[in-house]
Amino acid sequence: MVEYGQLPAVRLTAPDGAQATVALFGAHLLSWKTAEGKEHLFCSAKSALDGSKAIRGGVPVIFPQFNARGDGPRHGFARTSTWRLAGSGGEDGRVWAEFVLAPADLAAPVAQAWPHAFELRLRFTLGGPALDLLCTVQNTGTQPFPFGVALHTYFEVGQLEAAAIEGLQHCRYTDHLMATLEQQEPVLRFTEKTDRLYQAPPALTLRTAGGALRLEQQGYSEWVVWNPGAADAAALADMADDEYLRFVCIEPARVDQQQLAPGAQWVGRHRISN
Q: Which residues bind ligand TA6 (CB under 6 A)?
A: 54, 67, 74-75, 152, 195, 224, 226, 249, 251
- Residues 274/212, Cβ–Cβ less than 8 Å: yes
Closest approach, Cβ 36 to ligand TA6, in A, equals 29
- Residues 19/31, Cβ–Cβ less than 8 Å: yes
Q: How far apart are CA 106 and CA 34, in angstroms?
A: 33
Q: Between 12 and 248, whose beta carbon lies closer to ligand TA6?
A: 248
Q: Between 127 and 148, whose beta carbon lies closer to ligand TA6?
A: 148
Q: Between 66 and 99, whose beta carbon lies closer to ligand TA6?
A: 66
Which amino acid is it at 68?
Answer: A
**Residue of 152, 156, 222, 243 marked active site:** 152
Q: Between 243 and 251, whose beta carbon lies closer to ligand TA6?
A: 251
Residue nearest ligand TA6, Cβ-based? 226
Most distant CA pair in the chain, distance: 51
Beta-ladder partners of 149:
254
Q: Is 116 a catalytic residue?
A: no
Q: Between 32 and 226, whose beta carbon lies closer to ligand TA6?
A: 226
Q: Is 152 a catalytic residue?
A: yes
Active site residues: 152, 251
